[in-house]
Structure 1
C-alpha cells in the first residue's frame, strides 16, 4: 500500500514537471500603488523584490504613515507567487474601469527576470476574483510584517 502511494506521488510530481516555466519562477519584482477615493481608502505604494525585500510608503489611511522596509518571509513570497500564477496575470487585460466616480485605482505591476513586464490599472477595483486575491494578500502585508521606518 505504501508503494502505491509513493508511486502515485512520484507520478504526480513527474506530471507537474512539464518543462514550462511558471510565471512565479520568472518574477523579479511586484508593485502595487493605490490612489485615493472619496472616503478612507488606503493610499500606499509597495514594491516587493523576488528575494523578499519590500519597500512600503504608507501615505493615507494605513495602520502607519511613512516610508518603511521589511523582508518578507519565503513562505509568504511563495503564497504571493502562487496567487499571481492562479490569476493568469499575462492573459489579463491591462485596464479595468467602470462608470462610477470616487473609487480608488490600483496600479499593479510585475517585472520579470526576462525583461518583460505586465501592468494593470484597475479602477474600482473590478478585476477578476483571482486578481482581487493578489491585491488582498498585498494589502495584508501592511499589517503582517515588521516594517522598519526609513
Structure 2
C-alpha cells in the first residue's frame, strides 16, 4: 500500500520514545515512565545522589546527538483526524486522508456539510497537513485528559483525536484540550486547526455561522 510522505523528518534521536535530540518544533510529547513528573527525584538523602547521576548521563546523551545517524519513522498510509464537541458551537467532524490525497469528511454538528463527503487534497496540501501534525505524533497510543494531565484541567473544551495508520500498526493521540499539557501546547502551529491545511473550508464552514448550521431546537 502507498504511504503518505510528510517531507521533513525529525533529526537524529538517541531514544525515539524520549526524543532528547529533537528540535523544539519536532519534539514529541510522549513521556516514558522514568521521565514523568518530578516524582523521579526522591525526597530525602537520596536526592543529591540521583541528581549527581542524572546530570552526567544527560550530558552524555546530548553530546551524542551530533553523531547519531538520522532515524526516520514509517510514513502513514492514512490519517484519521477528529474534533469533538465542547460547551458551545465547536465544529464536530472527522476526516480520513489517504496516501493518494483522497479523503472522506464526515460532519456531525456545527459544520456546513453534514454526513459523508469525499474530497481530494493536492500533494502540497497533504504534505502541509502531515508536517503540521507530525510534531504531535506519539509512540504508540497516548491520551491526555482529566486522568492524565500534568496541569489543572479546564472544563467545557473539545478534544482532538488523531490516528496514524501504517503497515506496522497504528499510533494514536487523544487530547482533551482542557488539558494544557506543556509539551503539547508549546508546539506551533496548533493541532486543533490542522484541518485548515486541507481543502475543507466549504465543508467545515466558518466560526461566525456555527449556530446557523443547526436547525432551531437541536
TM-score, normalising length from structure 2?
Answer: 0.49
On the 8 A contact 2:112/2:202 being kept in 1, the answer is no
Classify 1:78/1:38 alpha carbon distance in 2 versus 1 (closer, same or farther; 3 Å).
same
Larger radius of gyration: 2
For the pair 1:67 / 2:116, whether they are aligned, the reply is yes
For the pair 1:136 / 2:206, whether they are aligned, the reply is no
* Mapping of residues 83-98 of structure 1, within 5 Å: 83-85=132-134, 87=135, 89-91=137-139, 94-98=142-146
On the 8 A contact 1:80/1:134 being kept in 2, the answer is no
Cα displacement (A) at 1:45:
1.1
Q: Which shifted more, 90-99 or 116-125?
A: 90-99
Cα displacement (A) at 1:93:
6.9
Map Cα deviations across residues 83-109 of structure 1 (whole Å, 9 max, x no partner).
233x05135970112533222222111
* Mapping of residues 13-32 of structure 1, within 5 Å: 20-21=71-72, 23=73, 26-32=75-81
Unaligned runs of 5+ residues in structure 2 are 1-68, 147-152, 204-218
Q: Matched residues in 1 for 2:138 and 2:160: separation?
A: 17
Map Cα deviations across residues 53-76 of structure 1 (whole Å, 9 max, x no partner).
110011111132221001110000
Unaligned runs of 5+ residues in structure 1 are 1-17, 146-150
* Mapping of residues 93-112 of structure 1, within 5 Å: 94-98=142-146, 99-112=153-166
3-state secondary structure, aligned to 2:192: helix
Q: Which runs of 4+ in 1 moved over 4 A?
A: none
In structure 1, the partner of 2:83 is: 34
Q: More helix per residue: 1 or 2?
A: 1
In structure 1, the partner of 2:103 is: 54
Q: More strand per residue: 1 or 2?
A: 1
TM-score, normalising length from structure 1?
Answer: 0.68
Q: Matched residues in 1 for 2:141 and 2:160: separation?
A: 14
On the 8 A contact 1:46/1:55 being kept in 2, the answer is yes
Q: Matched residues in 1 for 2:175 and 2:71: separation?
A: 29
How many residue pairs get aligned? The number is 124
Classify 1:64/1:55 alpha carbon distance in 2 versus 1 (closer, same or farther; 3 Å).
same
3-state secondary structure, aligned to 1:135: coil
